[in-house]
């Protein structure tokens, strides 16, 4: 069994559907991102600009997101990473922030 097949088996069907719909960037992509945010990250709502930025990334465009501290930039990176196939690399100079993000994802059952 390939690594991709194993990953597919480990991903719940509901999340796989949301990932596929979000990655296509269709008009339903915003709703799919909201479902993915709820199901994978435990977010009840997306903040203004988060869905648009994630959809921009998913459509293959270079995207610069400037938001104040605590406004939800990390959720954008995480949503895009979950919706895309394969590994995602996010470069951040803040080790403490990285540790916090990994701890939060682990608490939500993400690997």
Residue in the structure block whose two tokens are 């196939």? 85
Res. 13 pLDDT band, cuts 50 70 90: low
Q: How confident is the model at residue 29 (pLDDT cuts 50, 70, 90)?
A: confident
Burial (0-12, 13-18, 19+ Cβ within 10 Å), 95 = exposed
Per the prediction, the chain carries an average pLDDT of 79
Query: How confident is the model at residue 26, as a pLDDT?
Result: 46
**Number of other residues whose CB lies within 10 A of the CB of residue 68:** 7
For residue 6, what pLDDT is reported? 61
- What are the two backbone dihedrals, phi and then psi, of residue 31, each rounded to the nearest 5 degrees? -65, -40
């Amino acid at each position: 069994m390939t690594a991709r097949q194993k990953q597919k088996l480990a991903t719940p069907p509901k999340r796989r559907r949301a990932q596929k719909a979000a990655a296509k960037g269709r008009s339903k992509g915003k709703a799919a991102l909201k479902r993915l945010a709820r199901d994978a990250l435990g977010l009840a709502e997306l903040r203004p600009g988060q869905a648009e930025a994630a959809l921009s990334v998913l459509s293959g465009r270079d995207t610069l997101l400037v938001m104040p501290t605590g406004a939800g930039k990390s959720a954008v990176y995480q949503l895009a990473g979950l919706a895309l196939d394969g590994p995602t690399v996010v470069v951040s100079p803040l080790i403490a922030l990285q540790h916090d993000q990994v701890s939060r994802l682990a608490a939500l059952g993400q690997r």
